[in-house]
Amino acid sequence: MIRILPSSVLCSNVLSFKALFMFVLACAASTASAVEVTGKVIGSQGEKVVVEIETASGIQRGDTVLFSTEVAGRKLEAGRGTVTRVGQDEVDVSLSSGRANVGMSARIELQRFVHECDTIAAIPDDLNAVAQGIYPEMLDTARAISVCREATKLYPEEARFHAQLGRSYMQSDQMGRAILAFERAIDIQPDYAAALHNLASILHFGPEELRNDPRARSYFLKAAEQGFYASMPIIGTMCRHGIGGEIDHEVSAYWFSQAAENDDPSAQNALAECYENGWGLEKDLTSALIWYRSSAEQKHPPALRNMGRVFHRGIGVERNPQRAITWYEEAASLGDAEARYTLSNIFIEGIDALRDTSKAFDLLKLSAESEYLPALKKLSEIYLQGTLVKRDYDQAAGYLKQAALLGDAAAQYQFGVMAEKGQGTDRDKNLAIEMYRRAARQDHAKAQERLTRLKQSW
């Protein structure tokens, strides 16, 4: 158990002038913050005492340990000691006074000063932080980097300064330096959840050359196991889709449920999908609808879209196209590209007499602006065939090119055909070959045939 105690500073007047001067400087930049970790004595032999703890987070050698016993309902101090070794779930203590018998309560006092690095760069939800977390929009990255770099030089073994420096680098898009800072924090404190989460975020979401999904998955998992809620939906998603490791629906559902209980809307939507499809859980449409609704009530676009799908298809409820459209439209208004695409199809196909081609086309273009692949392909098809609008090869080629660059084999093949023929784009044999080659690598049969023919004739 960890709790932050009231801050206090004691600047002694018995210090030498030089020591007092240096101490005043420290007091000007910092205040003391006491943190407690409680535990129980599980071993005692002479001056060596072993204390069992729930978490070693923040404990360092040299921290003071107070042993207490209960007499007539009152807790009395029995002895004092100093931490000599920090393990995963226990610490060794050197007894300096009094006694420490097996079964006694132990209180470890972590006296932590508050540096300026803490006040301007503390990470939100960081259990190691000694100051209020600074959210990204409030972070002065240049100042934070300067101050936290200085803090890491003065206190190289203080993990939180390295983590706060890493977060500041991360916010200023200096991802390489951020990785090094987070790794240093984890070297010092392997269970540092906020550092593990942020490092994993760079390795999973960051620049392509820095990505490493297996490492990211292991770090997200470690952070989640420390109770860091932000990691839970991500490790759930990685396990669901087999990112950085094998597909594991049971583990995925477990982490979604943990985060969902903490009212995380994305986790609630994902947990609902587990219940709907029986992924790692017994199929339960009643539970699925509850979690979808809870997430949608927090305006989570995928959940709003899923609520639309529920009424569109009649999943666990009576089919109701009008209610479906209401949910889809709310998701679309929040920028959900898939909801916009789904709505456009409803209005194009005129499902339940809801045909509105003008509205459908507007929604389709909005979806395509978000680079939603099905929308890009649908628009290219519309312009090629001249169904809803006049045939326009230039527009068709433009949308096909975007879809091709997103890696769709069918779009790569079709755009290659247009480049070969000079339809909607300049006739470019090399570009056509490149597009066919990309599609062929994905086992697109027609692209493989066309590539072979072109190589023979050119």
Domain locations in the chain as residue ranges:
2-114, 115-228, 373-458
What own/partner pairs with CB < 8 Å and gap ≥ 24 does 197-203 have? Answer: 197/223, 197/228, 197/230, 197/231, 198/123, 198/163, 198/166, 198/167, 198/170, 199/166, 200/231, 200/234, 201/170, 202/170, 202/175, 202/178, 203/179
Mean pLDDT by 10 residues, the chain (458 residues): 32 36 35 65 93 81 84 82 88 91 88 87 90 94 97 92 98 98 95 96 97 98 93 97 97 97 96 98 97 98 98 95 94 97 90 77 94 96 88 95 95 94 91 92 92 71
Domains 115-228 and 373-458 share a fold: yes
Q: Are strands 74-86 and 64-71 parallel, antiparallel or unpaired?
A: antiparallel
CA separation for the pair 137, 117 (Å, rounded): 17
What CATH code would you report for 373-458?
A: 1.25.40.10
User: Angle 22-25-26 (CA atoms, 0-180°, nearest 5)?
Assistant: 90
pLDDT attached to residue 38: 87
Task: Tell me if residue 4 falls in helix, strand or coil.
Answer: strand
DSSP state of 133: P
Domain 115-228 fold: 1.25.40
What CATH code would you report for 2-114?
A: 2.40.30.20
pLDDT attached to residue 78: 86
